[in-house]
Structure 1
Amino acid sequence: MNPEQAAQSQAQLKYVELLLRKGMQEEARARLEELVRQEPPCTGAFYLLAVLKGEDGLPQEAAELLARTLALEPENTRVLNALGGALRQQGELEQAAAAFAEALRIDPRFSEARINLALLLKKALRFGEAELTLRAGIDLAPDSVRLNYNLANVLHAQGRSLEAVAAYRETLRLDPDHLDARQNLLFALHYSPQSSRREIYAEHLKAARSRPFRPPRQEPPARPTPGGRIRVGYLSPDFRGHAVASFIEPVLREHDRDRFEIFCYANVPTPDPTTRRLMGLTEQWRDIHGMADHNAAALIARDGIDVLFDLAGHTSGSRLPVFCHRPAPIQVTWIGYPDTTGLRALDYRITDALADPPGAADRWHSERLLRLPRSFCCYLPPVEAPELVPPPCGANGGITFGSFNNLSKVTPEMIALWSRLLREVDGSRLLLKAKPLADDGVRRRILAGFAEHGVAARRLELDPGQPGTREHLEQYQRVDIALDTFPYNGTTTTCEALWMGVPVISLSGERHCSRTGASLLTNCGLADLVTTSEAAYLDMARQVAGDRATLREFRGGARERLLRSPLLDAVGVTRELEAVLAELRATSRRRG
Structure 2
Amino acid sequence: MTENKQQKLIKKASIYIDKNRFDKAARCLKSAYTENGKFNALIFYFLGMMHEKAGNYVESMGCLCNAVEFLKNPNNVINKDFEYKIFWYLARSCSTAGLNKNAIEFYEEAYKRCNLPNKYGILMTYLYTMVAANTSPARMLQGLHKADEMLPDGKIEPDEMLPLEPRRNDGKIHVAYISPDFNNHVMGYFYPPLLKYYDKSRFYVTCIYLNKPKDEYTKQAQEMADNFKFCLGMPYSKIAAMLKSMRVDIAVDLAGFTANTGISLFRYRVAPVQISGLGWMESTGMKETDYLITDKFMDEPGHSYITEKPLYVSTCFCYNKKKDFPVSAGAPCKKNGYVTFGTMNRITKITDEMLITWREILNHVPDSKILLNSPSLHGKKVRFFVHDRFKKAGIDPERVILEPSSKDYMLRYLDMDIALDTYPYGGCGTTFEALYMGVPVVSMYGERRSSRFGLSILNNAGIGELAVPTADEYAERAVALAHDWELLDVLHKNLRTMLENSTAMDGRRYAREMEAQYEKILQETREKNAVNIVSDLG
Q: TM-score, normalised by structure 2?
A: 0.89
- Is the 1:84–1:99 Cα contact (8 Å) retained in structure 2? no
- Is the 1:305–1:328 Cα contact (8 Å) retained in structure 2? yes
- Is the 2:17–2:50 Cα contact (8 Å) retained in structure 1? no
Correspondences of 1:66-81 after superposition (within 5 Å): 75=5, 77-78=7-8, 81=11
The corresponding residue for 1:258 is: 201
- In the alignment, the residues of structure 1 paired with residue 293 and residue 480 of structure 2 have an alpha-carbon distance, to the nearest angstrom, of 35
Is 1:385 paired with 2:325? yes
The corresponding residue for 2:24 is: 95
- Is the 1:122–1:130 Cα contact (8 Å) retained in structure 2? yes
With over 3 angstroms needed to count, the CA separation of the structure-2 counterparts of 1:179 and 1:87, relative to structure 1, is closer
- Is the 2:293–2:310 Cα contact (8 Å) retained in structure 1? yes
The corresponding residue for 2:75 is: none
- In the alignment, the residues of structure 1 paired with residue 43 and residue 224 of structure 2 have an alpha-carbon distance, to the nearest angstrom, of 42
Q: Quick one: which of 436, 451, 458 aligns to 2:398?
A: 458
Which amino acid is the alignment partner of residue 123 of structure 1? K
Is 1:540 paired with 2:480? no
Is 1:484 paired with 2:484? no
Q: Quick one: which of 90, 110, 120 aligns to 1:151?
A: 90
With over 3 angstroms needed to count, the CA separation of the structure-2 counterparts of 1:312 and 1:388, relative to structure 1, is same
Is 1:297 paired with 2:227? no
Structure of greater Rg: 1
Q: Quick one: which of 222, 229, 241 aligns to 1:279?
A: 222
Q: Quick one: which of 314, 327, 336 aligns to 2:279?
A: 336
- In the alignment, the residues of structure 2 paired with residue 563 and residue 431 of structure 1 have an alpha-carbon distance, to the nearest angstrom, of 26
Is 1:552 paired with 2:489? yes
Give the secondary-structure state (helix, strand or coil) at the position aligned to 1:270.
Answer: coil
- In the alignment, the residues of structure 2 paired with residue 342 and residue 225 of structure 1 have an alpha-carbon distance, to the nearest angstrom, of 34
Q: Which moved more, 1:115-124 or 1:489-498?
A: 115-124
- In the alignment, the residues of structure 2 paired with residue 124 and residue 444 of structure 1 have an alpha-carbon distance, to the nearest angstrom, of 17
- In the alignment, the residues of structure 1 paired with residue 228 and residue 28 of structure 2 have an alpha-carbon distance, to the nearest angstrom, of 40
The corresponding residue for 1:245 is: 188
Which amino acid is the alignment partner of residue 267 of structure 2? C
The corresponding residue for 2:289 is: 346
Give the secondary-structure state (helix, strand or coil) at the position aligned to 2:271.
Answer: coil
Which amino acid is the alignment partner of residue 427 of structure 1? D
Which amino acid is the alignment partner of residue 336 of structure 1? G
Which amino acid is the alignment partner of residue 11 of structure 2? N
Is 1:85 paired with 2:15? yes
Q: Quick one: which of 557, 572, 579 aligns to 2:509?
A: 572
With over 3 angstroms needed to count, the CA separation of the structure-2 counterparts of 1:114 and 1:272, relative to structure 1, is farther
The corresponding residue for 1:325 is: 268
Superimposed CA distance per residue, residues 139-173 of structure 1 (whole angstroms, 9 cap, x where no aligned partner) = 34465122222222222122211111111111111
Superimposed CA distance per residue, residues 370-429 of structure 1 (whole angstroms, 9 cap, x where no aligned partner) = 111x10121111315233232211111010100110111110000000001101111111
- In the alignment, the residues of structure 1 paired with residue 40 and residue 264 of structure 2 have an alpha-carbon distance, to the nearest angstrom, of 32
Q: Quick one: which of 428, 431, 449 aligns to 1:512?
A: 449
- In the alignment, the residues of structure 2 paired with residue 218 and residue 345 of structure 1 have an alpha-carbon distance, to the nearest angstrom, of 20
Which amino acid is the alignment partner of residue 509 of structure 2? G
Give the secondary-structure state (helix, strand or coil) at the position aligned to 1:360.
Answer: coil
Which amino acid is the alignment partner of residue 391 of structure 1? A
- Is the 1:451–1:457 Cα contact (8 Å) retained in structure 2? yes
Superimposed CA distance per residue, residues 425-453 of structure 1 (whole angstroms, 9 cap, x where no aligned partner) = 11111111112223344333332333234
- In the alignment, the residues of structure 1 paired with residue 209 and residue 216 of structure 2 have an alpha-carbon distance, to the nearest angstrom, of 14
The corresponding residue for 1:359 is: 302
The corresponding residue for 1:432 is: 372
- In the alignment, the residues of structure 1 paired with residue 40 and residue 275 of structure 2 have an alpha-carbon distance, to the nearest angstrom, of 43
- In the alignment, the residues of structure 1 paired with residue 470 and residue 438 of structure 2 have an alpha-carbon distance, to the nearest angstrom, of 25
- In the alignment, the residues of structure 1 paired with residue 156 and residue 404 of structure 2 have an alpha-carbon distance, to the nearest angstrom, of 48
With over 3 angstroms needed to count, the CA separation of the structure-2 counterparts of 1:169 and 1:379, relative to structure 1, is same
- In the alignment, the residues of structure 1 paired with residue 522 and residue 367 of structure 2 have an alpha-carbon distance, to the nearest angstrom, of 58
Give 1:190 deviation, angstroms. Answer: 1.5
Which amino acid is the alignment partner of residue 344 of structure 2? F
Q: Quick one: which of 115, 124, 128 aligns to 1:187?
A: 128
With over 3 angstroms needed to count, the CA separation of the structure-2 counterparts of 1:385 and 1:111, relative to structure 1, is farther
- Is the 1:520–1:567 Cα contact (8 Å) retained in structure 2? yes
The corresponding residue for 1:526 is: 463
- Is the 1:81–1:100 Cα contact (8 Å) retained in structure 2? no
With over 3 angstroms needed to count, the CA separation of the structure-2 counterparts of 1:546 and 1:521, relative to structure 1, is same
Give the secondary-structure state (helix, strand or coil) at the position aligned to 1:336.
Answer: coil
The corresponding residue for 2:50 is: 120
Structure 1 portions without partners, runs of 5+: 1-72
- In the alignment, the residues of structure 1 paired with residue 5 and residue 371 of structure 2 have an alpha-carbon distance, to the nearest angstrom, of 48
With over 3 angstroms needed to count, the CA separation of the structure-2 counterparts of 1:135 and 1:448, relative to structure 1, is closer
- Is the 1:309–1:333 Cα contact (8 Å) retained in structure 2? yes
- In the alignment, the residues of structure 1 paired with residue 53 and residue 46 of structure 2 have an alpha-carbon distance, to the nearest angstrom, of 11
Is 1:161 paired with 2:91? no
Is 1:131 paired with 2:61? yes
- In the alignment, the residues of structure 2 paired with residue 562 and residue 416 of structure 1 have an alpha-carbon distance, to the nearest angstrom, of 31
Which amino acid is the alignment partner of residue 133 of structure 1? C
- Is the 2:107–2:126 Cα contact (8 Å) retained in structure 1? yes
- In the alignment, the residues of structure 1 paired with residue 214 and residue 344 of structure 2 have an alpha-carbon distance, to the nearest angstrom, of 26
Give 1:256 deviation, angstroms. Answer: 1.3
Q: Quick one: which of 380, 401, 419 aligns to 2:359?
A: 419
Which amino acid is the alignment partner of residue 128 of structure 2? F
Q: TM-score, normalised by structure 1?
A: 0.81
- Is the 2:422–2:443 Cα contact (8 Å) retained in structure 1? yes
- Is the 1:191–1:487 Cα contact (8 Å) retained in structure 2? yes
- Is the 2:438–2:496 Cα contact (8 Å) retained in structure 1? yes
- In the alignment, the residues of structure 2 paired with residue 87 and residue 411 of structure 1 have an alpha-carbon distance, to the nearest angstrom, of 32
- Is the 1:161–1:188 Cα contact (8 Å) retained in structure 2? yes
Q: Quick one: which of 129, 150, 171 aligns to 2:110?
A: 171
Q: Which moved more, 1:525-534 or 1:568-577?
A: 525-534
Which amino acid is the alignment partner of residue 164 of structure 1? A
Q: Which moved more, 1:184-193 or 1:497-506?
A: 184-193
- In the alignment, the residues of structure 2 paired with residue 261 and residue 116 of structure 1 have an alpha-carbon distance, to the nearest angstrom, of 48
- In the alignment, the residues of structure 2 paired with residue 454 and residue 137 of structure 1 have an alpha-carbon distance, to the nearest angstrom, of 33
- In the alignment, the residues of structure 1 paired with residue 17 and residue 514 of structure 2 have an alpha-carbon distance, to the nearest angstrom, of 48
With over 3 angstroms needed to count, the CA separation of the structure-2 counterparts of 1:150 and 1:451, relative to structure 1, is closer
Give the secondary-structure state (helix, strand or coil) at the position aligned to 2:342.
Answer: strand
Give the secondary-structure state (helix, strand or coil) at the position aligned to 2:132.
Answer: coil
- In the alignment, the residues of structure 2 paired with residue 147 and residue 277 of structure 1 have an alpha-carbon distance, to the nearest angstrom, of 40
Which amino acid is the alignment partner of residue 394 of structure 1? K
- Is the 2:151–2:267 Cα contact (8 Å) retained in structure 1? no
Give the secondary-structure state (helix, strand or coil) at the position aligned to 2:334.
Answer: helix
- In the alignment, the residues of structure 1 paired with residue 44 and residue 389 of structure 2 have an alpha-carbon distance, to the nearest angstrom, of 31
With over 3 angstroms needed to count, the CA separation of the structure-2 counterparts of 1:92 and 1:448, relative to structure 1, is closer
With over 3 angstroms needed to count, the CA separation of the structure-2 counterparts of 1:450 and 1:344, relative to structure 1, is same
Which amino acid is the alignment partner of residue 420 of structure 1? E
Which amino acid is the alignment partner of residue 353 of structure 2? E
Which amino acid is the alignment partner of residue 260 of structure 2? G
- In the alignment, the residues of structure 2 paired with residue 87 and residue 189 of structure 1 have an alpha-carbon distance, to the nearest angstrom, of 29
Structure 2 portions without partners, runs of 5+: 73-79, 530-538
- Is the 1:356–1:511 Cα contact (8 Å) retained in structure 2? no
Which amino acid is the alignment partner of residue 62 of structure 2? L
Give the secondary-structure state (helix, strand or coil) at the position aligned to 1:331.
Answer: strand
With over 3 angstroms needed to count, the CA separation of the structure-2 counterparts of 1:478 and 1:289, relative to structure 1, is same
- In the alignment, the residues of structure 2 paired with residue 439 and residue 508 of structure 1 have an alpha-carbon distance, to the nearest angstrom, of 31
Give 1:272 deviation, angstroms. Answer: 3.1
